[in-house]
Amino acid sequence: MDFKSSDTITGPRTEDHLPHTAQAAAKIVIVGGFGVGKTTMVGSVSEIRPLTTEETMTQAGIGVDDNFGSKSKTATTVAMDFGRISITDQLVLYLFGTPGQERFWFLWNGLFEGALGAVVLVDTRRLEVSFDVMGRLEERNVPFVVAVNDFPDAPRYAIEELRQALDLAEEIPIIRCDARRRASSRDVLMTLMSFLHSLAMSGASA
Amino acid sequence: MTPPQRQRRQPKHEPSPPFHEDDLPSVTGERPPERLYILTGEDGERAPIDLVTLIVARADPPPSAAPEQSALIRICQAPLSVAEISAYLNLPISVVTVLLTELLTAELVQARAPVVRQARADRSLLEAVMHGLQKL
Ligand SMILES: Nc1nc2c(ncn2[C@@H]2O[C@H](COP(=O)(O)OP(=O)(O)OP(=O)(O)O)[C@@H](O)[C@H]2O)c(=O)[nH]1
Ligand SMILES: [Mg+2]
């Protein structure tokens, strides 16, 4: 059992408490292949130390009614880190850095459902690792923007060249960023929000 | 050097919600956790527990509560998302969801439903978020 005793559990630090006026939360997902900077981006904009949540799943046909917290041999655990930004006293925004392994995607069923939108992080040394994730967002009508992480040794393609390679429509924003810098990550989120806003203005169903 | 070439995909179902249970890949032979439902609002409308549903304790843990339940109630003195509860209790989301369903039924905690993306996006919500990000 993971769960020992309620006394050993420490909740959020007092300074991490949300105000009692917090009425609702919205979520954004940050997706991309292995090692592309998802955790770094969540951490650079979050007001709390990034936390990790996990989900376990069992193979079909094996004990579905697992005991609380216990993991059978056949269970797979998928972890996901996330951060938080308080927008107003009433509204909170959560950012989830979602692992790229495609076979675990369905686990996050509830994650993409209702997400305002997504940031797809790409690394130009391995563009293709983000192809699948983009296709899945398209299939599910989840609006996204593309953020290109500038790794020092990575090839620098012109934005238009990237747009062609990624087969992205003209209106989908592509921006360069440094996920380690708060201001840069903030700009990426801002780009996503104004993109969503423009979709809302144009009356397109997002 | 030319970059590798991707091909754009088309939406699977027209303006349907982004994810559907029946979209789940069967090839993996794995199943997603059960979706559990909570009661929200005075009108008794049902909504699923989401990663960002905010939970607030309504009472102190009763002596009869299981240790997991007591711990959950204790950390939810101020509003806390389901994802944060999972992180602090070190329990998977599906387990937290089961605990919450029990606590909601016993009226020991209260749930505040998340803002979700709708077919018609909420402009004032997006404007509020942009305003908040500007201050970051
Ligand atoms: N130069 C540069 N390095 C970065 C940037 N973002 C992340 N890194 C570095 O890249 C490495 C991987 O970053 P992570 O944030 O752990 O990547 P991730 O996507 O969370 O990785 P996984 O969870 O393992 O898939 C770290 O050493 C970061 O410091 C960036 O924008 N620029
Ligand atoms: Mg990571």
Stronger pLDDT, B56 or A58, i.e. the higher one: B56
Residue B54: strand, helix, or coil: strand
Stronger pLDDT, B120 or A20, i.e. the higher one: A20
Residue located nearest, by CA, to atom 6 of ligand 1: A37
Record: contact B88-A12, CB cut-off 8 A: yes
Instruction: Identify all chain A residues contacting B84, using CB atoms and an 8 Å cutoff.
Output: 12, 51, 53, 84
Residue located nearest, by CA, to atom 13 of ligand 1: A37
Interface check B36 vs A, CB under 8 A: no
Determine the structural domain holding residue B50 and report its residue range: 33-114
Model confidence at A10, pLDDT cuts 50, 70, 90, reads confident
Q: Tens of pLDDT along A75-84?
A: 667 788 999 9
Task: Look at residue B71 and tell me if it is in a domain.
Answer: yes
Looking at the predicted structure, is the pLDDT value of residue B33 above 50? no
Q: Express as a percent the part of chain B with pLDDT over 70.
A: 72
d(CA A198, CA A37): 27
Structural domains for chain A: 22-205 (3.40.50.300)
Mean pLDDT value across residues A39-62: 81
* CA-wise closest residue to A20 among A102, A90, A71, A84: A90
d(CA A140, CA A108): 13
Task: Look at residue B39 and tell me if it is in a domain.
Answer: yes
d(CA A78, CA A57): 8
Angle at CA of residue A80, ends B40 and B119, nearest 5°:
45
ipTM of the complex in this document: 0.86
Kindly give the distance from the C-alpha atom of residue A34 to the centroid of ligand 2, in angstroms, as a whole number.
8
Secondary structure element (H or E) that encloses residue B46, with its range = strand B45-48
Mean pLDDT value across residues B108-131: 87
Residue located nearest, by CA, to atom 31 of ligand 1: A178
DSSP, residue by residue, A74-91: T-EEEEEEEEEEE-SSSE
Q: Tens of pLDDT along A134-146?
A: 998 898 889 999 9
Instruction: Identify all chain A residues contacting B79, using CB atoms and an 8 Å cutoff.
Output: 18-20, 22
Instruction: Identify all chain B residues contacting A169, using CB atoms and an 8 Å cutoff.
Output: 8
Mean pLDDT value across residues B96-120: 88
Kindly report the pTM of this predicted structure.
Answer: 0.86
Interface check A93 vs B, CB under 8 A: yes
CA atoms within 13 A on the CB side of B14: 1
CA distances from B119 to A21, A172, A197 (A): 27, 18, 13
Q: Which residues contact A126 (CB under 8 A, 6 or more apart)?
A: A33, A36
State the total domains in chain B. 1
**Contact call for residues B117 and A27 (beta carbons, < 8 A):** no
**Contact call for residues A160 and A154 (beta carbons, < 8 A):** no
Model confidence at A5, pLDDT cuts 50, 70, 90, reads low
Task: Look at residue B133 and tell me if it is in a domain.
Answer: no
Task: Look at residue B92 and tell me if it is in a domain.
Answer: yes
Interface check B86 vs A, CB under 8 A: yes
CB-nearest to B115 from A25, A167, A169 is: A25
Q: What's the CATH code of the domain at B61?
A: 1.10.10
Tell me what pLDDT residue A159 has. 95
Looking at the predicted structure, is the pLDDT value of residue B97 above 80? yes
**Contact call for residues B39 and B107 (beta carbons, < 8 A):** no
* CA-wise closest residue to B56 among B81, B19, B20, B31: B81
Which of A23-37, A128-142, B42-56, B66-80 is the least confident region? Answer: B42-56
Task: Look at residue B130 and tell me if it is in a domain.
Answer: no
Task: Look at residue B123 and tell me if it is in a domain.
Answer: no
Tokens matching residue A91: 């509204």
Task: Look at residue B69 and tell me if it is in a domain.
Answer: yes
